[in-house]
Amino acid sequence: MQYRTLGRTGVQVSTLSLGAMNFGAIGRTTPDEARAIVDAALDGGINLVDTADFYSRGESEEIVGKALAGRRDDVVLATKASLPVDEDRNHRGGSRRWLVTALDHSLRRLGVDHVDLYQVHRWDPSTDDEETLSALTDLRRAGKIRYFGSSTFPAHRIVQAQWTAREHHLGRYVTEQPSYSILQRGVEAHVLPVTEEYGMGVLVWSPLASGWLSGAIRAGQEITTNRAKTMPARFDTALPANRARLDAVERLARVADEAGLTMIQLALGFVTAHPAVTSAIVGPRTLDHLHAQLAAADTVLPADVLDAVDAIVAPGVDLAPEEKHDTPPSLLDPSLRRRR
């Protein structure tokens, strides 16, 4: 396992991090299975564990907390808030009212007195940056969090938040967590240059593109991954975007074979090769999944392999742009781009 500095914090984190989204109802990974995964991840050198209150409505945090019992100080523990956790209209977003309450709930579920990294899960367009940053700064001063970051923010909002922090003498986001893979490279054009400019740590999620790059999806085979069952539209090969992804996967598989790599090694080696990326978050549902991902921990792709990837999916291109998570709201909702 390799280690890198998380932005300018001085904290050393593994180039692969353990994501806990599948722990609980979402991925149906049981507490016992999750404990085995956490044990194997830590034994394999992973030292950052990432979860969120949104994952299975807090169940993931509870499972992570129990799995880390007695080893809390060995782990850089990260969680997130702002996505809806129930039907209450104020149990979401980036307001001081909610973030303070949400963190207390997360600490209780995790069984800890602080988290190392607290992240705003999505940009909240209804809340002023100063409101959110001042709340996070106070939580840091109270010792409940050590650092705070953003997740899946558009590049212009990352910049705006940095300027707001400077203007109002508040703490700033020191990390960003974007979606990034060989098949979704849009962040290379805007988000990653901004994070480099501000010296932010970058923890990328979905580096296996929801299973497209796991090796389990190939032309002529039935797609049986767990995500295909829960999000069938993302894997319907009758759709043009998915046909383009499948074609890219077939070409990438040949590149991996010629280089003596698994698809997982190619996928994880690719994202961790980018100089802006600190760590790639893997989200195993089973222990076998984790072992396959740990096998990529020390993968370093040579220039000719990276060039071959560029020839298949061009830098800065998203093969499924409709699945982007940082699109400005006005591009998704016509009412927001019409004069009232």
CA distance 287 to 293: 10
Instruction: Report which of 317, 189, 328, 152 is spatially closest to residue 245, judged by C-alpha positions.
Output: 317
Structure tokens at 152: 């899946």
CA distance 59 to 52: 9
Residues listed for the chain: 340
Q: For the chain, what is the largest distance between any 2 Cα atoms, rounded to a whole number of angstroms?
A: 58
Structure tokens at 145: 């969090």
CA distance 117 to 78: 5
Cβ atoms of residues 27 and 211 within 8 Å: no
Cα-based angle 54, 112, 107 (whole degrees, multiple of 5) = 35
Helix (H) / strand (E) containing 32: helix 31-43
Marked catalytic residue, from 3, 55, 180, 198: 55
Cβ atoms of residues 74 and 102 within 8 Å: no
CA distance 182 to 325: 16
> Distance between the two ends of the chain, CA-based, in angstroms?
55
Structure tokens at 227: 């995500």
3 is catalytic: no
Cβ atoms of residues 152 and 237 within 8 Å: no
CA distance 124 to 94: 6
Number of neighbouring beta carbons within 10 Å of residue 23: 31
Structure tokens at 45: 């050198």
Structure tokens at 66: 């129990």
Q: Which single residue is written with the structure tokens 């830590």?
A: 42
* Catalytic machinery residues: 55
